[in-house]
Amino acid sequence: MKIVIVGPGSIGLLVTFYLAHQHHMVSLVTNRQEQTTVINEKGIHLIRHKQIAKMNVPVTTFSNFNWDETIDLLIVTVKSYQVTNVLKKVDFTNVKSILFLQNGMGHTEIFSKLAIPELAVGVIEHGALRENDFTVHHTGVGKLRWSYVREGSGIINEVLKGIIDPNFPVEKEQDWTNMLESKLIVNACINPITALFQVENGELVKNEHYLSMMNLVFKEVISVVGFVDDSDTWEYVCQVCRKTAHNRSSMLVDIVNNRKTEIDSIVGYLIRRARDQQIDIPILTFLYEGVRAKELKQGRDAYD
C-alpha cells in the first residue's frame, strides 16, 4: 500500500515509524524544507527506554510532492487548527482513503465537505514527545484507537489491522462519535487546567484543590456532551491523570514552547455546542479565555 503521512510532528513521526515497519510504501509530507533535508539525511529516530531505533522514510514538501500517483491512504497528523489549511494543499484526485489523528473535535466539522469514499478518525493514547525535526521519544505505550466515519473498500482496516507490534497496539471502535467524545472529555478536563497552572497531569488527582476544579469542569463538559454513565467516565479521566502522572499535557507543552494550542478544537468546540443547546458553561468559558489570553500574550511578546 502507498501511505502518505502529512505532518511530521510527534504523532506523525511516531505513526510513520511503526507503519514503515509493516513494509508499506510510507512517505511523509511537510511544510518545511529544512525538515525534509534532515530526515532524508538521518532518517527518523525513535527513542524508547533510552534505545534509539532508526528508519529511513522519504520526505518531501507539499510543493515538491507528486500528487499524480495513487495514494491508498492519506494520514493527517497535523494539529487540529492546521487541518483546514493543510487540506487546501492536497490534491484529492488520487486519494482513496483518509485517516485523521487529532485531539478535540473541531476538525470533524469539515467531514461533510470531503468527498472521499473512505474516511476514518483515530485517537492516539501513546506518550510521544518530539525532540527535534527527526527524533521522537515514545514515552508511554498506549493505544491507537480508530473508527470509520465512512467505510469504503476497507483500506484503512487492512492497513491498521496489519500493525502487530506490542509497542503500538491498535484497536478498532464501532462508534466514532463516542470514541472522540471520550477523548474530548479527557482533554477538556486535563489540558486547560494543566496549561494554565503549569502542572503535570498527576497533580490534578494528587492535589484535592485541582481535583475539585477538574470535577467542576467535568460536570460542565458532561452537561454538553451528555454521557449517561458519568461516574465511570469521571473514573476514566482520573485514571488517565494517574497513568500519565509525570506527563505534561500537550497544551502545557504548547504554551511552554510559545506555540498555538488546540484549545479551539477542544473547549471552543464545546462552547459552540453549548451555545446551540443554550447551556451555560462559565467555567469552560473561563478556561478558554485564559488559554487564549496566554496564547495572545505570547504572540504579542514574540513581536515586541
Q: Which residue is nearest to ligand PAF (CB)?
A: 250
Segment interacting with ligand PAF, rule: CB under 6 A, options 57-65, 74-82, 163-171, 183-191: 183-191
Say whether residue 105 binds ligand PAF (CB under 6 A).
Answer: no
Number of residues that bind ligand PAF (CB under 6 A): 11
Q: Which member of 97, 187, 261, 265 binds ligand PAF (CB under 6 A)?
A: 187
Say whether residue 190 binds ligand PAF (CB under 6 A).
Answer: yes
Q: Which residues contact 100 (CB under 8 A, 6 or more apart)?
A: 76, 83, 107, 119, 120, 121, 122
Say whether residue 217 binds ligand PAF (CB under 6 A).
Answer: no
The C-alpha atoms of residue 276 and residue 285 are separated, in whole angstroms, by: 15
Q: Which residue from 107, 167, 175, 182 is spatially nearest to 146, judged by alpha carbons? A: 175
Grid cell, residue 50, equals: 533510552
Element (H, E) at 253: helix 250-256
Q: Which member of 78, 185, 186, 188 binds ligand PAF (CB under 6 A)?
A: 186
Report yes or no: 18 and 163 within 8 Å, Cβ to Cβ: yes
The C-alpha atoms of residue 9 and residue 118 are separated, in whole angstroms, by: 24
CB of 187 to ligand PAF, least distance (A): 5
CB of 246 to ligand PAF, least distance (A): 10
User: Is the Cβ of residue 147 or residue 191 nearer to ligand PAF in the bound state?
Assistant: 191
- Catalytic positions are 183
> In the beta sheet, which residues pair with residue 120?
99, 148
Q: Which residues bind ligand PAF (CB under 6 A)?
A: 103, 186-187, 190-191, 201, 240, 244, 247, 249-250
